[in-house]
């Protein structure tokens, strides 16, 4: 390489070849390379030849490939001092490599429970420092390394020390760092919380969940607030969220954000989506205080009323949140029977042709509430919720020129836009599990004709949605004693035999006979 000493050239050439090898390097190739160029030599090159163009990058890339192998990772504990030095290096590339070395070392350790012996000296505090002050790549690598430490109970004790003794206390660090560093700590909290029940319990016991509320209430700027909300959204998806988040005041925080009209709309939108994601979990309803859920649903209802059906992103995301809540049987029943009657917004939007976005969101939300995403045995709701659903749809139909639900269903199927028809197929697939809706669907031949028309759709998604709609109608008919007009069952059977993609019945090839050409 240009500018490199003569005796350095063979090492750099070999390191470059090793790093750029197109396949996966194995233990044998890593051992062969380190036998020729021992790790102390490679470490020293990064320290002494950093001013030579290309040396650092070449050696770092080579070492990363070596440490990814089991043999290479097994050598790292013998050079803990070099790892510590790398975590404190001025070069971000070397810091990043040192963080990855810790991750590979723990990932390949034969005794993963012996973390304290592997993580010697000052490594964990230095990883925290890299997380907070490193560039994006270094911070991400540090996050992975700390996550590797937390894989065992011994590692949990390192990250969450008891009392005042031990390693770094994350809550104390968060209280004295920059906004960006606090967001990175929140990222670490989310990662650890989702890792295991033990780690989630340690996060809760350390009062780290309160950092989310602290960050959101700081008002450090909309970008920082949104970053904290995005991480809270990930936290709500964790399998441990229902067990621990209900013990915090985060639900009340979300309710307050949604209710506050002076808060930026994008903040309210994210708060609504987080609420929808959290309430979509079936296990939430076994422990949650009903008054807190009612207050949250009331806040969403008032937000939708305030927007007054406007075709805005905030309104559409609120409808999407209703759909998320409706994916669980308990959530769907609650939407339909709560005092706020919030489900009416989704049903009204589903059949309102003034505003493409909100109608699509309404149809998808209606489909979710009706159980299209739920298993067959949990599709139907309790009697009270089912009666509310039926009453609302009939009431909305009576206020339109269509007069009946069948007229509403036909009107949405006749929409020219592909996405609207897809959403309509999806909603009908859930609704036909109800006998009253099945009767409405079968009362109009035009609906059956459109649903079973093999040439009505061209896109893959619409073809599949139309076919699933046929399956749902046929299944509901088979389970009922309802009499139908001639041809309905035959059309459905033909559509099922064709499958989702075959537009026409099979045509056997015909032989073509023609005379030979003569010259």
Q: What DSSP string runs through 50-85?
A: TTSTTHHHHHHHHHHHHHHSHHHHHHGGGGHHHHHH
Token pair 């509310």 in the structure block, residue: 388
74's CB contacts (< 8 A; 6+ apart) are 108
Sequence spans of domains, the chain: 1-168, 249-400
| Six token digits for residue 200 | 């989630």
SS (H, E, C) 475-515: HHHHCCCCCCCCCHHHHHHHHHHHCCCCCCCCCCCCCCCCC
CA–CA gap between residue 309 and residue 244 (Å, rounded)? 35
What is the biggest distance separating any 2 CA atoms in the chain, rounded to whole angstroms?
101
Contact 424, 412 (CB under 8 A): yes
DSSP tally for the chain: helices H, then strands E: 31, 0
pLDDT of residue 4: 43
Token pair 């659903």 in the structure block, residue: 389
1-168 CATH fold: 1.25.10
Cα separation values, 101 from 15, 108, 445, 469, Å: 17, 11, 67, 53
Q: Which helix (H) or strand (E) holds 181?
A: helix 179-193
pLDDT of residue 484: 67
pLDDT of residue 486: 60
Contact 357, 311 (CB under 8 A): yes
Domains 1-168 and 249-400 alike in fold: yes
249-400 CATH fold: 1.25.10
pLDDT of residue 485: 63
Per residue of the chain (519 residues), what is the pLDDT tens digit? 444 444 788 888 898 998 888 888 889 999 999 999 999 988 888 876 445 667 888 999 999 999 999 999 999 988 888 999 999 999 999 999 999 999 999 988 776 666 777 777 789 999 999 999 999 999 999 999 999 999 988 889 889 887 655 456 888 888 888 889 999 999 999 999 999 999 999 999 999 999 999 998 887 788 999 999 999 999 998 888 888 888 888 889 999 999 998 889 999 999 999 999 999 988 888 877 778 888 999 999 998 888 876 668 888 999 999 999 999 999 999 999 988 889 999 998 888 766 678 889 999 999 999 999 999 889 999 999 999 999 999 998 888 777 888 888 888 888 768 888 899 999 999 999 999 999 988 888 888 888 888 787 788 888 888 889 999 998 988 888 877 666 888 888 888 888 888 765 444 566 666 666 665
Token pair 């990932």 in the structure block, residue: 107
CA–CA gap between residue 448 and residue 437 (Å, rounded)? 13
Query: For the chain, what's the residue count?
Result: 519
pLDDT of residue 253: 92
Which ranges of 280-398 does DSSP label H, i.e. alpha helix?
290-307, 313-326, 329-337, 343-350, 356-369, 383-398
Closest CA relative to residue 426, chosen from 451, 459, 390, 454: 451
| Six token digits for residue 273 | 């989506």
What are residue 266's phi and psi, to 5 degrees? -70, -30
């Amino acid at each position: 390489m240009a500018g490199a000493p003569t005796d350095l050239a063979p090492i750099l050439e070999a390191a470059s070849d090793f790093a750029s090898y197109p396949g996966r390097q194995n233990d044998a190739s890593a051992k062969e390379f380190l036998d020729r160029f021992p790790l102390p030599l490679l470490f020293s090159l990064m320290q002494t030849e950093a001013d030579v163009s290309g040396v650092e990058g070449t050696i770092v890339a080579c070492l990363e490939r070596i440490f990814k192998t089991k043999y290479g990772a097994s050598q790292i504990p013998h050079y803990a001092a070099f790892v510590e030095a790398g975590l404190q290096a001025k070069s971000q590339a070397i810091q990043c490599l040192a963080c990855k070395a810790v991750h590979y070392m723990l990932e390949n350790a034969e005794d993963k429970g012996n973390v304290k012996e592997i993580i010697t000296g000052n490594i964990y505090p230095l990883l925290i420092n890299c997380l907070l002050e490193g560039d994006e790549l270094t911070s991400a690598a540090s996050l992975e390394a700390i996550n590797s430490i937390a894989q065992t109970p011994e590692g949990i004790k390192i990250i969450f020390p008891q009392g005042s003794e031990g390693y770094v206390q994350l809550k104390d660090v968060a209280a004295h760092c920059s906004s960006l560093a606090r967001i990175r700590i929140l990222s670490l909290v989310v990662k650890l919380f989702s890792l295991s029940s033990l780690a989630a319990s340690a996060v809760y016991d350390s009062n780290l969940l309160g950092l989310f509320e602290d960050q959101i209430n700081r008002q450090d700027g909309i970008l920082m607030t949104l970053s904290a909300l995005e991480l809270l959204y990930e936290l709500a998806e964790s399998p441990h969220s229902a067990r621990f988040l209900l013990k915090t005041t985060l639900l009340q925080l979300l309710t307050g954000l949604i209710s506050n009209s002076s808060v930026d709309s994008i903040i309210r939108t994210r708060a609504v989506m987080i609420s929808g994601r959290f309430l979509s979990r079936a296990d939430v309803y076994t422990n949650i205080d009903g008054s807190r859920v009612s207050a949250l649903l009331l806040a969403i209802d008032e937000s939708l009323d305030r927007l007054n059906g406007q075709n805005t992103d905030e309104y559409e995301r609120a409808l999407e949140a209703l759909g998320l809540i409706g994916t669980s049987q308990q959530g769907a029943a609650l939407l339909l029977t709560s005092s706020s009657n919030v489900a009416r917004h989704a049903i009204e939007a589903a059949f309102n042709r003034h505003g493409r976005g909100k109608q699509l969101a309404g149809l998808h939300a209606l489909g979710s509430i009706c159980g299209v995403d739920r298993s067959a045995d949990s599709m139907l709701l309790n009697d009270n919720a089912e009666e509310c659903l039926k009453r609302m749809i009939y009431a909305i139909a009576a206020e339109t020129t269509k007069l009946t639900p069948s007229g509403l269903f036909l009107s949405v199927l006749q929409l020219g836009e592909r996405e609207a028809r897809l959403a309509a197929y999806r909603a009908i697939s859930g609704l036909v599990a109800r006998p009253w809706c099945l009767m409405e669907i079968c009362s109009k031949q035009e609906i059956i004709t459109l649903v079973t028309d093999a040439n009505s759709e061209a896109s893959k998604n619409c073809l599949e949605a139309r076919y699933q709609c046929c399956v749902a109608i046929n299944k509901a008919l088979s389970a009922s004693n309802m009499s139908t007009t001639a041809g309905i069952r035959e059309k459905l059977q033909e559509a099922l035999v064709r499958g989702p993609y075959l537009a026409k019945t099979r045509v056997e090839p015909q032989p073509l006979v023609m005379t030979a050409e003569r010259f």
